[in-house]
């Protein structure tokens, strides 16, 4: 009976142990009595932080690209009463920012808004003409019948041959999305329907390229849409609403920074990460090593390394020179002097340069070695996933009252994410407390104080990440139930500790390190649950087609071209578009919460795998 009672006891789940405390673990504070109050406040803080860094991403596939374009076209056409190609011209000029267009409409007025974008204030009716008189082309000066000439909305008319050659040149030059009128000092954008009609008759392949450029302009000329940088390319694009300083995940599994399209690199800023990967890939540190350990030959200027104790050095070209000063000498020498040569005078500049190069090299090696160590650990820990699945299978099949092992997978994913944060924190510290970016932003005293503050938090995170890694590597499938429960408590508690430490590190970076700087510097926020996977774009073809039909009523009465011949085409902003788009401030507001980035403090489920190991798991 006792055995039956024990056999029917309910299984223990990890959620039942999340609130248990272990005095042997490393906690962030001694206020265990106020744990419930802290948890409630933490949830409120996390929700506030999520609002501060709100962003939502959606995937634009090849099939939904046209529907996404139609949706933005419809908004502008309905509210401003524009033809479709004029709405497209306006959208591309302002980087497909519909809200920005409506803001500038109030600030600048309709006429100025249109003129800056290249839209004529008064349209001409170029659909047909009843005149039979020949038209003189002001380019080739040939007299052609009206049917062999085309007139743009701005009123300028040229022969079709000249227009066609002009359009082909512009398309080949990559300006197909924003072709201006040929007339001198005319800022108007040519009608894409006329471009399409003339080019396709002579060069169908160039016309096809023109169509593709127009279609892809929604991505190429849009600040809120980026191609997925996956290799090989999945063909998807990601559209983000809200904060563009975020990290997103495509449906293909590729995780990347939306702002710079490089791999996810938070807490490094985009500038820091670009400088870091360049520093690691090129020969900048090799040059530093050469500066520290070699001297240039005065004859052939090749670097020479000293491999003995004598200060008379011979290059492979045959030139002898003094190692101390680098001056060319003869070969007659003793251990104490070189014949006919003296360099006992102190040269301060050269000594300072050598010492500075040596310090820079040692400093880089310090941060790079630790960055690489954690990156290598992340790659090794990625192999734990398959091993852990095997351990879980063995544990679930043996006789035990513990049947829920989700805490292992949740802890493993927490380890992946925190390890990645820890590895990227070293490139961040290299540039944050160096002279490459913020040389004049902090006094030496402020730099030292902030560096100590950051390194204290970095050290705490590193210590607890290593402890979590140690518990997850244990062979728990061989443990007794009591040992499994003890390991479970440690993993759950350490997962929460590591999560909170990551939040505090991000809070320190955003509020104490980056916010006081004069130069705006933003990082992607910390996501406790992992990167949000982009959702499918929810614009259906039926609704897009209905919206396309509804916009016909708002188009100019002079044009009645079927929507099917124009839908999905764009024109490119060439050159000065970014000057006309008003950007929001690059500096985020200071977050006054005590927590770090977004996500709930107790979120341990449905976690994503970091970008570095996604292809290995």
DSSP state letters, 108-128 = H-HHHHHHHHT--SS----S-
pLDDT tier, 167 (very low <50, low <70, confident <90, very high otherwise) = very high
- Looking up tokens 């306006």 gives 90
pLDDT tier, 4 (very low <50, low <70, confident <90, very high otherwise) = very low
- Looking up tokens 């503050």 gives 453
Q: What value does the mean pLDDT take over residues 276-299?
A: 76
Task: Look at residue 556 and tell me whether its pLDDT is greater than 80.
Answer: no
Lowest-confidence region among 171-185, 316-330, 360-374, 575-589:
575-589
Q: 192-202 and 160-172 are packed helices; what angle lies between their axes, rounded to 10 degrees?
A: 90
Angle at CA of residue 297, ends 295 and 303, nearest 5°: 50
Lowest-confidence region among 118-127, 158-167, 204-213:
118-127
Task: Look at residue 426 and tell me whether its pLDDT is greater than 60.
Answer: yes
Task: Look at residue 612 and tell me whether its pLDDT is greater than 50.
Answer: no
pLDDT of residue 589: 52
- Looking up tokens 């609002």 gives 51
Identify which has the larger pLDDT, 3 or 83. 83
Single pTM value for the model:
0.69
Lowest-confidence region among 270-274, 451-455, 589-593, 609-613:
609-613
Mention the CATH class of domain 135-205.
Answer: alpha beta
Neighbours of 335 (CB within 10 A): 8
pLDDT of residue 450: 94
Residue pair 71/540 in contact (Cβ under 8 Å)? The answer is no
* Closest by Cα among 553, 573, 581, 567 to 73: 567
Task: Look at residue 16 and tell me whether its pLDDT is greater than 70.
Answer: no
Q: Which of 310, 322, 343, 502 is catalytic?
A: 310
The pLDDT tens digits for 566-606 are 223 333 323 333 333 334 444 455 544 443 343 333 333 23
Which fold would CATH assign to domain 356-513? 1.20.120
Active site residue 252: no
- Pairing state between β 237-242 and 55-60: antiparallel
What CA–CA distance (Å, rounded) separates 535 from 57?
7
Lowest-confidence region among 190-204, 218-232, 290-304, 496-510:
290-304
pLDDT tier, 322 (very low <50, low <70, confident <90, very high otherwise) = confident
Q: What value does the mean pLDDT take over residues 4-8?
A: 42
Angle at CA of residue 251, ends 280 and 249, nearest 5°: 40
Task: Look at residue 48 and tell me whether its pLDDT is greater than 60.
Answer: no
Task: Look at residue 613 and tell me whether its pLDDT is greater than 50.
Answer: no
Task: Look at residue 25 and tell me whether its pLDDT is greater than 60.
Answer: no
Identify which has the larger pLDDT, 34 or 469. 469
Residue pair 339/332 in contact (Cβ under 8 Å)? The answer is yes
Task: Look at residue 415 and tell me whether its pLDDT is greater than 80.
Answer: yes
| Exposure letters 489-523 (e unless 16+ CB within 10 A, then b) | bbbbbbbbbbbbbbbbbbbbbbeebbeeeeeebbb
Lowest-confidence region among 167-176, 245-254, 340-349:
340-349
The pLDDT tens digits for 484-500 are 999 999 999 999 999 99
* Closest by Cα among 406, 385, 383 to 396: 406
Domain range list for the chain: 135-205, 356-513
Provide the H-helix boundaries in 118-203.
160-172, 192-202
Most confident of 310-319, 496-505, 605-614: 496-505
Residue pair 505/266 in contact (Cβ under 8 Å)? The answer is no
Structure tokens, 297: 């030959």
Task: Kindly give, in sequence order, each residue whose CB lies less than 8 Å from that of residue 29, ignoring residues fewer than 6 positions away.
Answer: none
pLDDT of residue 465: 95
The pLDDT tens digits for 196-205 are 999 999 999 9
pLDDT of residue 260: 92
Residues 34, 40, 46, 49, CA torsion sign: negative
pLDDT of residue 448: 93
Cα end-to-end distance, the chain, whole Å: 46
What CA–CA distance (Å, rounded) separates 400 from 391?
14
Angle at CA of residue 391, ends 468 and 8, nearest 5°: 105
pLDDT of residue 285: 61
pLDDT of residue 385: 83
Longest dimension (CA), the chain: 111
- Supply the mean pLDDT for the chain: 77
pLDDT of residue 585: 42
């Amino acid at each position: 009976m006792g055995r039956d009672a024990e056999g029917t006891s309910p299984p223990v789940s990890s959620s039942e142990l999340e609130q248990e405390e272990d005095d042997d673990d490393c906690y962030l504070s001694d206020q265990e009595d106020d744990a419930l109050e802290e948890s409630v406040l933490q949830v409120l803080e996390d929700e506030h932080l999520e609002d501060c860094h709100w962003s939502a991403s959606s995937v634009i596939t090849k099939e939904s690209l046209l529907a996404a374009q139609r949706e933005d076209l419809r908004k502008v056409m309905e509210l401003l009463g524009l033809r479709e190609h004029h709405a497209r011209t306006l959208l591309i000029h302002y980087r497909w920012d519909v809200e920005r267009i409506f803001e500038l409409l109030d600030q600048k007025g309709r006429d100025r808004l249109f003129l800056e974008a290249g839209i004529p204030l008064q349209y001409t009716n170029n659909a047909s003409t009843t005149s039979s008189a020949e038209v003189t082309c002001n380019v080739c000066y040939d007299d052609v019948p009206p049917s062999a000439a085309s007139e743009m909305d701005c009123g300028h008319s040229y022969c079709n041959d000249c227009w066609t050659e002009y359009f082909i040149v512009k398309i080949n030059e990559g300006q197909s999305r924003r072709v201006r009128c040929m007339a001198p000092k005319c800022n108007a954008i040519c009608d894409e329907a006329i471009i399409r009609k003339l080019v396709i008759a002579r060069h169908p392949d160039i016309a096809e390229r023109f169509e593709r450029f127009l279609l892809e302009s929604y991505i190429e000329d849009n600040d809120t849409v980026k191609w997925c940088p996956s290799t090989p390319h999945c063909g998807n694009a990601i559209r983000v609403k809200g904060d563009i300083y975020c990290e997103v995940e495509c449906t293909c599994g590729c995780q990347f920074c939306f702002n710079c399209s490089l791999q996810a690199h938070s807490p490094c800023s985009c500038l820091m990460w670009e400088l870091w990967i360049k520093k690691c890939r090129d020969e900048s540190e090799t040059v530093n090593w050469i500066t520290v350990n070699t001297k240039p030959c005065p004859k052939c200027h090749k670097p020479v390394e000293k491999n003995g104790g004598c200060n008379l050095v011979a290059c492979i070209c045959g030139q002898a020179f003094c190692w101390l000063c680098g001056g060319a000498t003869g070969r007659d020498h003793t251990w104490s002097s070189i014949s006919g040569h003296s360099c006992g005078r102190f040269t301060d500049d050269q000594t300072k340069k050598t010492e500075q190069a040596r310090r820079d090299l040692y400093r880089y090696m310090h941060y790079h070695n630790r960055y690489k160590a954690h990156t290598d650990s992340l790659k090794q820990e990625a192999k734990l996933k398959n091993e852990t699945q095997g351990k879980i299978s063995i544990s679930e099949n043996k006789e035990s009252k513990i049947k829920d092992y989700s805490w292992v997978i949740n802890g493993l994913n927490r380890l992946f994410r925190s390890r990645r944060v820890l590895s990227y924190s070293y490139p961040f510290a290299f540039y944050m407390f160096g002279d490459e970016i913020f040389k004049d932003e902090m006094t030496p005293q402020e730099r030292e104080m902030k560096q100590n503050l950051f390194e204290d938090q970095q050290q705490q995170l590193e210590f607890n990440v290593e402890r979590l890694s140690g518990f997850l590597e244990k062979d728990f499938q061989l443990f007794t139930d009591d040992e499994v429960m003890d390991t479970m408590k440690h993993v759950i508690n350490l997962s929460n500790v590591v999560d909170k430490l990551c939040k505090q590190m991000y809070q320190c970076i955003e509020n104490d390190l980056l916010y006081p700087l004069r130069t705006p510097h933003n990082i992607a926020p910390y996501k406790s649950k992992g990167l949000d996977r982009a959702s499918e774009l929810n614009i259906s073809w039926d609704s897009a087609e209905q919206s396309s039909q509804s916009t016909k009523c708002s188009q100019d009465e002079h044009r009645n071209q079927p929507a099917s011949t124009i839908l999905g085409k764009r024109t490119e902003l060439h050159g000065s578009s970014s000057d006309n788009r008003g950007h929001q401030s690059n500096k985020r507001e200071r977050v006054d919460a005590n927590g770090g980035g977004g996500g709930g403090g107790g979120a341990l489920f449905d976690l994503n795998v970091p970008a570095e190991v996604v292809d290995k798991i």
